[in-house]
Structure 1
């Protein structure tokens, strides 16, 4: 961990909860509330908090002449590439080969779009429907597009303007999100391609920027804030789920307003977590099993939707087991989910241990090489001479 990075308790646990919500949406088909959207939006909040926070702190270092902008840019893109690219592209290459030979040959998977990190555009605009097992790649495209734009927006502007930039991005995204509903945009387009997804990242970034002015751990948000956050989160989630009929109506803006309320409520809960680091609930999020699932959550997210949904479904086996009536109703529902979750976990664990972890260990060496190649003192001396 570098000097400008800081550990925030509970974030790995939040990643674990987010990936479990997405898993339940795709495998358990939870429909009472859109838990998949909550999970993905939670991922966006965490990404914004970490990435915008890092860029904001680096911009402050640039202004203090303790870092070079070109070096910071190189390090940022190298770190993002090491974290995202290797396992993602290996998976896409494997899917391309399998698709050509036997895997879902009758389904248009849009693999070329996924290679270009344009899954959200392909699903929402070109394909205009969900493509099955690779549908979840849209959120990875959103994050990668953000990673391409954010460094130039934040490292080339004064740190004092960063909060205003985030606020402007949130406001513009909200207006476009509502306009999509007013113009009767399709559900996949709104879900995958609306700029409101970027607003969630900007919301997390705004939390980080405000926190940089009042460092995490020096205070806490009252319990009433958490209670109000959860209450409003539940109200907006249920209200959004009950709004299926109005989504079908042309030019209905209510779903968009509920989306915005849902996101702000989720952000309120997130604020409580990052501002209440000494709380027992935050410590529970930092428990080792939950935190470890959060650590390998990227691989879990990549692989979970590719696990066969029929895994564990065996009515003949249930009959042979002679289960009691109560268990006979529960086991056919629970056992497939347990097995599918276990397989996704094993794949993520192998991915982390054999590839991701080893690749990430190269970050420090590469950062040190860049710092040696682009020394800070040379930039500072150049700035002094220009002045």
Structure 2
């Protein structure tokens, strides 16, 4: 029940694929499937798997009297703060200055909402639509809201109940997701503010806690599982993308896209479980290739910056005509240039800021664990002295 503690191979490569799907959705406007949704849900699965898995193991340590809940809580928030806040708030401050001076001054970017990680609420409920270049902040808000709740829900609940808690959240979120479709909610509200987004994080956690019980060793069952998961992902993604919104008032018809969403999510979870259980597979080895793994390492910065790369960058039909570049290759060259610039910005962010800030994590964690047990020991000594007196 303690979950997986060793490093799971392939997760950085999977992050790279996720962020590439988001990039293609925003810059190439892929219509065959909702590549952006698949990419973000992959991020949620990975985060849930790692974060809930860690919290579950920490709760086991608490029950075995190997750690204090207060220390683990402080360490958790310290790690999340170092990983998320510095580059995010520097970007928001820079964006606020640019917006006040010259950048999209006629567009309501909802910057105040992004500062307090309520982008998903602002997009789905207040703004009632996508705000352009800051639209992708909604997923960061979802993760941050999840981080505010998860440690209290897991560190103070017995580890034996964690899997049940995850299943309850997933089921409740599925009903809420379908209810939004049934009520005819607008697409941005369902996309950014549906509780189903939190269920994707919880699904990753459920796989971390209970996934080891699924027999997925090399063999026929493993092969069928992999092929079936891939086929289901393709089927649900194509069905969801090809579904035209129906004006029919029949609730079951209106909720059909919601069922496609749930099927797609569970299929992604099945494939994800296969990857973390089949660490010896060729696919996992491919995800560990250094360039792909590095893109996964810097994927947070890439995700933050990619939407601010101008969509007209690399669009130069006159130059391409003089160079005799085929028409079909011109959009691809523009995308490559935009992708390369996003990678460069993410690389600089990682090397100059993110990586250096994360170096503080280990000494701060040590300081927290050293300080809190000392206080506990002091109280025990004081109590012993009083009893002796």
Contact 1:129/1:188 (8 A) holds in 2: yes
Task: State the match for 1:369 in structure 2.
Answer: 367
Alignment map for 1:146-157 (pairs within 5 Å): 146-157=146-157
Unmatched 5+ stretches in structure 2: 385-389
Which residue in 1 is equivalent to 2:351?
A: 353
Partner of 2:307: 305
Question: CA-atom RMSD, angstroms?
Answer: 2.1
* Secondary structure at 1:375 match in 2: helix
Equivalent residue number for residue 112 of structure 1:
112
Q: Distance in 2 between matches of 1:380 and 1:130?
A: 55
CA distance in 1, matches of 2:71, 2:292: 35
Deviations 1:90-128 (A, max 9, x none): 000000000000000011000000000000000000001
Alignment of 1:222-371 (within 5 A): 222-246=222-246, 249-250=248-249, 251=251, 252-323=254-325, 328-371=326-369
Q: Which consecutive unaligned segments of at least 5 residues does structure 1 have? A: none
State the distance in 2 between where 1:98 and 1:377 align: 47
Task: State the Cα deviation string for residues 215-272 of structure 1 (Å, max 9, x = none).
Answer: 99x94571110000001111101110111233x5554010001100000001110010
With normalisation by structure 1, the TM-score equals: 0.93
1:119 and 1:370 mapped to 2: Cα distance? 32
The equivalent residue for 1:33 is 33
1:330, distance to aligned residue in structure 2 (A)? 1.9
Q: Distance in 2 between matches of 1:283 and 1:322?
A: 39
SS at match of 1:27: helix
- TM-score by structure 2 length? 0.93
2:85 is aligned to 85
Q: Equivalent residue of 2:133, what SS?
A: coil
Measured against aligned partners, the alpha-carbon deviations of 1:133-163 in whole angstroms (never above 9, x if no partner) come to 0000000000000000000000010000000
8 A contact 1:18–1:40 mirrored in 2: yes
The answer to whether structure 1 residue 7 and structure 2 residue 4 are counterparts is no
Q: 2:194 & 2:248 partners in 1: Cα distance?
A: 18
Give the structure 2 partner of residue 94 of structure 1: 94
* Cα-to-partner distance string for 1:9-67 (whole Å, 9 max, x where unaligned): 01000000000000000000001100100000000000000000000000000000001
8 Å CA contact 1:66–1:376 kept in 2: the answer is no
| Alpha-carbon distance in structure 1 between the residues aligned to 2:67 and 2:287 | 34
Q: Give a deviation string over 1:172-205, Cα, whole Å, max 9, x none.
A: 1000000000000000000000000000000000
